[in-house]
Amino acid sequence: MKRLALFFVTTLPCVLFMGCGLMNASSEPPRANAVNVAAVVDDTTKQPEKVAAAVEAKPAKPQLFEPGAFEDPKVCSTCHRDIYEDWSKSMHAYAWEDKWYQPDYILAHQETDGATDMLCGACHSPIAARTGLLPPADGSKFDETSRRGISCDFCHTVSGVEQMYNMGHVSEPGNVKLGPRGDGKSLYHEVKYAEIHTKADFCGSCHMVIHPVTGVHIIDTWDDWKNNEYGKQDITCQDCHMTPTPGVSKTPGRSALMGKRRDNLAFHGFIGGSSYVQDALGNTKQAEMSREFLRAAAEVKLAEKVTDDGTLELTVEVHNVGAGHKIPTGTTYIRIMWLQVEVVDNAGKVVYSSGHVDDKNHVDPDAVFFRVLFRDAEGNLTGKSWRAHSIGYDRRIPAKGKDSETYSIPLPGKGDYQVTTRLMYRSVTQKSLDEVYERTGEALPPVVSVEMAAAQAKLRF
């Protein structure tokens, strides 16, 4: 019964509004091209209502349990102390309260008359969504457990995944805690092996967001992984993200006070690119791990030649050497990666510069950007996921792949020059923080850039 209901619920909007072909998570994401964009512009007028209607048509609660059905993470902390410490400073623990999530979520709520509440909430506050405490959108009915985002008892009572996008997890809350081993003994709960916890699909069902009406792939991490070399070799999300840093492969110890000694424990910090957020929250250790992740992902290589008329032809290659998916991935309509290029003459004078940060903390708009932006129904570029009608811009570096850009830089005269190229990353654009401030009066700390990789070259003309 339960399973049937879940299937019906999640399929309904696509039946009503678009036919289900688009909803197939394994289909290719729409690409930016002239035809695509033109089609978007033709079909504009009713888009906002359509979004609202369709998401509303999706009944609010796929699986519903009594409030309190999921246990509070504090309960688990009494025995799983280290795991609790690591998890409580992970982005999963902040998934609801996060000051970088809330303004976007509230804006989506306002612009769709609340139609997106349960869509966003299913992933960012799964316990509230599954115990009837959401809506109201503002979280005023949330209990203590719901406020703590994606927590222990949500993940460890997942018995399967029914759908590989928009959160298709099947919950079986109760005394049986499911995990990757199943051979431990606990006085508090039963322990049972669940293969799904060892699979990328477990993560993928949340790390794959598809717009319920337009079918645009908002977050495509899982699909991207599934179809690249890592996915084919089954090197999972857990393999990279449930170890403290890219170089560390084994963390021996006990997962619980009275637990068995294991030669490798699953790390629960879920480190990604969020060093700016972690620093802003005072979590300096997590912020440093996050920078290590970012640095492990990429390499920059240069090839330069000067033509007879004194033009420097500089080719910058960016290689994705460490991430199991494109870089950047995730909410790449909020995050940015870009190139900084600087040419300095012998006297230290800057003769060319691209991608620099101005005194308002904004990145040079003419820089080479690696990111995603959507087109809305009117054909304008937008970072509002709920308005995504097609992909408007998508330039990212594929796993184990590269991208390159050639700069033609006129040199001012004969002499020696030094070229510096840096691949930079920001968790969010300063423009979006400025907009949050204008809208809500909330002044979030200025975004900080992270250098992922760099390369230098000297040349003579």
Between residue 50 and residue 89, which ones bind ligand HEC under the rule CB under 6 A? Answer: 71, 73, 75-76, 78-80, 83-84, 87
Footprint on residues 230-249 left by ligand HEC (CB under 6 A): 230, 235, 237-242, 246
333 binds ligand HEC (CB under 6 A): no
Closest by CA to 163, choosing from 56, 301, 9, is 9
286 binds ligand HEC (CB under 6 A): no
CB 272 within 8 A of CB 294: no
260 binds ligand HEC (CB under 6 A): yes
Stretch that binds ligand HEC, among 137-145, 327-335, 341-349, 435-443 (CB under 6 A): 327-335
Give the C-alpha separation, 441 to 434, whole Å. Answer: 10
280 binds ligand HEC (CB under 6 A): no
174 binds ligand HEC (CB under 6 A): no
Output the smallest distance, CB 368 to ligand HEC, in A.
Answer: 17
Footprint on residues 298-317 left by ligand HEC (CB under 6 A): none
Output the smallest distance, CB 242 to ligand HEC, in A.
Answer: 5
Output the smallest distance, CB 69 to ligand HEC, in A.
Answer: 12
Give the C-alpha separation, 195 to 161, whole Å. Answer: 11
402 binds ligand HEC (CB under 6 A): no
Q: Give the count of beta carbons closer than 10 Å to the beta carbon of residue 196.
A: 16
How many residues bind ligand HEC (CB under 6 A)? The answer is 103
Output the smallest distance, CB 280 to ligand HEC, in A.
Answer: 10
Q: Can you tell me which of 114, 180, 244, 398 binds ligand HEC, judged by CB under 6 A?
A: 180
Residue 330 or 355: which CB sits closer to ligand HEC?
A: 330
126 binds ligand HEC (CB under 6 A): yes
Footprint on residues 355-384 left by ligand HEC (CB under 6 A): none
Q: Can you tell me which of 51, 127, 170, 200 binds ligand HEC, judged by CB under 6 A?
A: 200
Provide the mask over 17-56, with x wherever binding to ligand HEC is found by CB under 6 A and - wherever it is not: ----------------------------------------
Residue 42 or 190: which CB sits closer to ligand HEC?
A: 190
Q: Can you tell me which of 14, 95, 216, 377 binds ligand HEC, judged by CB under 6 A?
A: 95
296 binds ligand HEC (CB under 6 A): yes
Residue 30 or 103: which CB sits closer to ligand HEC?
A: 103
Residue nearest to ligand HEC (CB): 330
Residue 352 or 425: which CB sits closer to ligand HEC?
A: 425
Q: Can you tell me which of 147, 262, 356, 431 binds ligand HEC, judged by CB under 6 A?
A: 262
Stretch that binds ligand HEC, among 36-44, 130-138, 153-161, 433-441 (CB under 6 A): 153-161
Per-residue HEC secondary structure of the chain comes to CHHHHHHHHHHHHHHHHCCHHHHCCCCCCCCCCHHHHHHHHHCCCCHHHHHHHHHHHCCCCCCCCCCCCCCCHHHHHCCCHHHHHHHHCCCCCCCCCCCCCHHHHHHHHHHCCCCCHHHHHHHHCHHHHHCCCCCCCCCCCCCHHHHCCCCHHHHCCEEEECCCCCCCEEECCCCEEEECCCCCCCCCCEEEECHHHHCHHHHHCCCCEECCCCCCEEECHHHHHHCCHHHHCCCCHHHHHCCCCCCCCCCCEECCCCCCEECCCCCCCCCCCCHHHHHHCCCHHHHHHHHHHHHHHEEEEEEEEECCCCEEEEEEEEEECCCCCCECCCCCCCCEEEEEEEEEECCCCEEEEECCECCCCCECCCCCEEEEEEECCCCCEECCHHHCCEEEEEECECCCCEEEEEEEEECCCCCEEEEEEEEEEECCCHHHHHHHHHHHCCCCCCCCCEEEEEEEEEEEC
Output the smallest distance, CB 248 to ligand HEC, in A.
Answer: 13
Tokens representing 436? Answer: 């949050």
436 binds ligand HEC (CB under 6 A): no
Give the C-alpha separation, 343 to 395, whole Å. Answer: 25
426 binds ligand HEC (CB under 6 A): no
167 binds ligand HEC (CB under 6 A): yes
- Residue 324 burial (C-beta neighbours within 10 Å; 0-12, 13-18, 19+): buried
Residue 38 or 248: which CB sits closer to ligand HEC?
A: 248
Stretch that binds ligand HEC, among 30-38, 42-50, 257-265, 363-371 (CB under 6 A): 257-265
Q: Can you tell me which of 128, 155, 411, 433 binds ligand HEC, judged by CB under 6 A?
A: 155
263 binds ligand HEC (CB under 6 A): no
What are the backbone dihedrals phi and psi of residue 334, each rounded to the nearest 5 degrees, phi first?
-110, -40
